[in-house]
């Protein structure tokens, strides 16, 4: 029983460290704007490369291809764009261990609320859920929906890691005696 009490006490402390270092709404908004700009640049590069490929190696007229893309169902186009955005953000955050370009610039990172590392599944579901309509506006609340649903938070990296390390060192000091 004492083990469970210690476990829950430690989890509560870790949760407090996460909440104490939660990034502000404006840092989150800055992350979103920077990341959105990066995704737009990647999309433009992708379509430029696709256009060059189509022009050089196929009989497809690039202007016709672009016009057909514009005439698609706009609702499906928006859903597909949100899913692609979520997928690209998943790849970026997974390979950078919770730090997109926006998070690198603002000094923030994604962590689980219990301070445990995110898994591949956590990164994937968290970022694909960005396709939820109006998720981008959820930063106006306490936590964004894709963070609330999957028990993640964006924290100020430097201060979070410093306090987490200090807390773990103190816990280990108590266990060694």
The 10s digit of each residue's pLDDT in 15-31 is: 788 888 888 888 888 98
Average confidence score pLDDT of the chain: 77
Q: Which two tokens stand for residue 116?
A: 């445990």
Report the Cα 153 to chain-centroid distance in Å. Answer: 9
Q: Which two tokens stand for residue 19?
A: 């909440």
- Residue 57, pLDDT > 80, answer yes
pTM of the model: 0.73
What pLDDT does 19 receive? 84
Q: For 124-163, what is each residue's pLDDT tens digit?
A: 888 877 777 666 665 555 666 666 677 888 889 898 888 8
Helix (H, G, I), strand (E, B) or coil at 15: helix
Question: Which of the pair, 14 or 95, is modelled with greater confidence?
Answer: 95
- Number of CB atoms found within 10 A of residue 44's CB: 10
Q: Which two tokens stand for residue 91?
A: 């790849």
Half-sphere exposure of 139 (CA within 13 A, CB side): 16
Q: What percent of the chain has pLDDT over 90?
A: 11
- Residue 95, pLDDT > 90, answer yes
């Amino acid at each position: 029983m004492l083990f469970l009490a210690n476990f829950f006490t430690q989890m509560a402390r870790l949760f407090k460290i996460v909440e104490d270092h939660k990034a502000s709404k404006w840092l989150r908004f800055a992350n979103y704007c920077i990341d959105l700009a990066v995704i737009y640049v990647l999309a433009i590069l992708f379509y430029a490369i696709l256009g060059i490929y189509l022009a050089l190696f196929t009989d497809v007229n690039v202007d016709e291809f672009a016009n057909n893309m514009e005439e698609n169902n706009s609702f499906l186009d928006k859903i597909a764009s949100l899913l692609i955005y979520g997928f690209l953000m998943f790849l970026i955050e997974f390979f950078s261990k919770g730090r997109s370009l926006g998070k690198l610039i603002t000094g923030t990172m994604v962590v689980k609320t219990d301070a445990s590392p995110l898994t591949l599944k956590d990164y994937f579901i968290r970022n694909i859920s960005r396709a939820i309509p109006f998720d981008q506006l959820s930063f106006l609340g306490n936590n964004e929906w894709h963070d609330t649903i999957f028990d993640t938070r964006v924290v100020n990296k430097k201060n979070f890691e410093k306090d987490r390390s200090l807390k773990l060192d103190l816990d280990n000091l108590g266990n060694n005696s």
